[in-house]
């Protein structure tokens, strides 16, 4: 079974702090994604990556950056956390860009106070 692991399930951070959300997949998938999920807005794509060291902006990249130094790991970085970044963050991976199943992690609940 594919496993997408997000290192932190629940985090509380202060405004202005730098926040790292880590995601690891164990199936040698090419594509990895970061979404945030907010009530009434569904999942919105922040960044995605289809290869090591490659990244593409999603629909809401402002305030975020990403890093993909190794194929299995995709990190989401909040350089200076703000209260409007309080949300559930979901990492996902898929085999390639041909529309295969996307597998999600369990999510990371981030609260910025």
Partner 1 sequence: TQLLEQSPQFLSIQEGENLTVYCNSSSVFSSLQWYRQEPGEGPVLLVTVVTGGEVKKLKRLTFQFGDARKDSSLHITAAQPGDTGLYLCAGYLYNQGGKLIFGQGTELSVKP
63 binds partner 1 (CB under 8 A): no
Tally Cβ neighbours within 10 Å of residue 15.
Answer: 11
Smaller CB distance to partner 1: residue 9 or 14? 9
Name every residue whose Cβ is closer than 8 Å to that of residue 99 and which is 6 or more positions away in sequence: none
Segment lying near partner 1 (by CB under 8 A), choices 11-19, 21-29, 65-73, 105-113: 105-113
Smaller CB distance to partner 1: residue 84 or 98? 98
40 binds partner 1 (CB under 8 A): yes
**Cβ–Cβ under 8 Å, residues 105 and 8:** no
**Residues 67, 70: Cα–Cα separation, whole Å:** 9
35 binds partner 1 (CB under 8 A): yes
CA angle at 18 for the pair 108 and 45, rounded to the nearest 5°: 45
* Window 69-98: contact mask with partner 1 (x via CB under 8 A): ---------------------x-x-x-xxx
């Amino acid at each position: 079974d594919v496993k997408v692991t997000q290192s932190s399930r629940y985090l509380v951070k202060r405004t202005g702090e730098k926040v790292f959300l880590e995601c690891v997949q164990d199936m040698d998938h090419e594509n990895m994604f970061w979404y945030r999920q907010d009530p009434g807005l569904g999942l919105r794509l922040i960044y995605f990556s289809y290869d090591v060291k490659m990244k593409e902006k999603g629909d809401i990249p402002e305030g975020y950056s990403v890093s993909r130094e190794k194929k299995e790991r995709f990190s989401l970085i909040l350089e200076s956390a703000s209260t409007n970044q309080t949300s559930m963050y979901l990492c996902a991976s898929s085999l390639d860009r041909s529309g295969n199943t996307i597998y999600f992690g369990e999510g990371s609940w981030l609260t910025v106070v």
